Amino acid sequence: MRALSAKIWRSMPLRLAVLLVLLFSTVSLLSLAASYAVTRSAFEQAVRDDLAQDMAGFRAAPNASAVALLVEAESRDTDPGRLILSYIAPSGRIFGNGAIARDGEGYHLVSLRDGLAEIEGEYLALSSALYGGRLTIARSRAEVEALGTVFFNILWISLLPTVLIALSGGLVLARRSKRHVEVVRATLDDLTTGDLSARVTVGPRWSDDMVRIGETLNQMAAAQERSVATLRQVSSDIAHDLKTPVQRVSLQLDELAQEVDAESGAARLVDEARREVAGISAVFDSLLQLAQVEQGTLRETFQPVDLATLCRTLCEMYEPDAHEQDQTLVCDVPADVEILVSGERNLLGQMLANLIQNALRHAGQGARITVSLEDTDAIRLTVTDDGPGIPEAERTRVLERLYRLDRSRNTPGNGLGLSLVAAVARLHGAELTLGDADPGLQVSIVF
């Protein structure tokens, strides 16, 4: 589940959705910040205009007594938390609902109604000398400061649902896109494991680009299937056509061996010719078997196969061969434990036999060959030797048909053993890896 979530979060549709959300959020934040700045400035300017208008109204009074009466009348029903009116008459008496006091920390507003209690909050004030006294009008900035809360609420109310909806939409698109990609990936997996008849099934809700990818992949698979089918048919025809005359030559050589003196030079030549013909016949048999494996039709006959028993059996079979060459064949397989895989028993046995034969043939005298099998996070079959190994640059090429290393050309073999191993691994959906055993070669097959 965690791996699935990680794949979805790494999908392109969700990444695009996240990028679009980030872009939209950035633009929205900048727009709201600009709107807040403009609105705040307009509100403060409106407060200053109100102060100037209030000051002009009081200036219309004819004298100081009239100003004091007006201030008293206006402040009587005015909330000091909203508007402060203060007039210091020429006699020093203070009229209104508040006054400005100053200390070491600066200016403060105090309420005259509550015994000089300090008024909380910030105010914009306008003060002017008037008829020998001083008139001060201060309006609260509470409405201006409240704009921040209003815009913050607007931000969350408008932006948060948009972000959630966009991310949810991106997640839905990512899941849908992942299903489409999984269809393509599954088809590619089938094609790479030898099932060239696999095709992408395009659904009704697929986007145009995914439809084009699926159609192109199907066209490529069809062309590959036709090409491989033609090549396999030609190879099979050649192998079949040549196998019969080779078998006739082998029979004739058998008859000739009975006619010549066993101690003569002709008998030795006949024996060498029989060995060469047997090698040619073995190549044809391997090519035909390889073609049969690559067709993938044997997948229909798969059954549970106990790899542990198979490994122990083959190690016992090849133990005498290893002993003859002063080699050590170790079977590192858990005893009395079944490790089951779905497959074709004969092919799996041929695959393991080829790996053991390859190690016995090329590891050299006195080599140690280990066949190990473990079932942890996956079933891993490993054949390791401490021989000369295979150079890293050659490890891909040795899986090709009839390819042999230069140092191996004088040893028995036809260059098809590892090719058959790779084909059988692909048929069973296993991953084949040639690695460095330091020294030697390590062949790992992970089911």
Domain limits of the chain?
1-174, 208-295, 297-446
The pLDDT, as a whole number, for residue 286 is: 66
Q: Give the C-alpha separation, 380 to 333, whole Å.
A: 11
The pLDDT, as a whole number, for residue 369 is: 92
Give me the half-sphere count of Cα atoms (radius 13 Å) on the Cβ side of residue 121. Answer: 20
Q: Is the pTM of this model over 0.95?
A: no
Give me the half-sphere count of Cα atoms (radius 13 Å) on the Cβ side of residue 107. Answer: 10
The pLDDT, as a whole number, for residue 283 is: 67
* Mean pLDDT to the nearest integer, 377-399: 86
Q: What is the DSSP string of 1-66?
A: -HHHHHHHHTSHHHHHHHHHHHHHHHHHHHHHHHHHHHHHHHHHHHHHHHHHHHHHHHHTSSSHHH
- Please return the burial class of 287, using the count of CB atoms within 10 Å of its CB with bins 0-12, 13-18 and 19+: buried
Biggest alpha carbon–alpha carbon distance for the chain: 156
- For the cut 60, the answer to whether the pLDDT of residue 423 exceeds it is yes
The pLDDT, as a whole number, for residue 373 is: 92
* Mean pLDDT to the nearest integer, 309-320: 92
Return the top range by mean pLDDT from 63-77, 221-235, 386-400: 63-77
Quick check: bond before 204 cis, omega within 30?
A: no
- For the cut 70, the answer to whether the pLDDT of residue 9 exceeds it is no
Q: Give the C-alpha separation, 43 to 38, whole Å.
A: 9
- For the domain 297-446, what is the CATH superfamily, name and number? Histidine kinase-like ATPase, C-terminal domain (3.30.565.10)
Q: What is the DSSP string of 41-58?
A: HHHHHHHHHHHHHHHHHH
- For the cut 60, the answer to whether the pLDDT of residue 171 exceeds it is yes
**Percentage of the chain surpassing pLDDT 90?**
13
At a CB cut-off of 8 Å and minimum separation 6, what does 45 contact?
A: none
What's the alpha-carbon Rg for the chain, to the nearest Å?
46
318-344 pLDDT tens trace: 999 999 989 999 999 888 888 899 988
Please indicate whether residue 171 or residue 129 has the higher confidence score (pLDDT): 129
**For the stretch 89-119, what's the b/e string if a residue is b when 16 or more beta carbons lie within 10 angstroms of its beta carbon?**
beeeebbbbbbbeeeeeeeebbbbeeeeeeb
The pLDDT, as a whole number, for residue 228 is: 67
- 239 pLDDT band, cuts 50/70/90, is low
Closest CA to 400 of 383, 420, 385: 420
Return the top range by mean pLDDT from 121-130, 161-170, 319-328: 319-328
Return the top range by mean pLDDT from 67-71, 159-163, 229-233, 308-312: 308-312
The pLDDT, as a whole number, for residue 400 is: 74
Cα angle, residue 177 at apex, residues 175 and 180 outer, rounded to 5°:
110
Return the top range by mean pLDDT from 169-178, 217-226, 352-361: 352-361
* Mean pLDDT to the nearest integer, 200-210: 78
At a CB cut-off of 8 Å and minimum separation 6, what does 408 contact?
A: 362
The pLDDT, as a whole number, for residue 7 is: 55
Q: Give the C-alpha separation, 34 to 184, whole Å.
A: 48
Distances (CA, A) of 253 to 202, 282, 414: 59, 17, 22
Sequence-separated contacts (24+) of 251-259 with Cβ below 8 Å: 253/277
The pLDDT, as a whole number, for residue 408 is: 52
Please indicate whether residue 405 or residue 315 has the higher confidence score (pLDDT): 315
CATH class of 208-295: mainly alpha
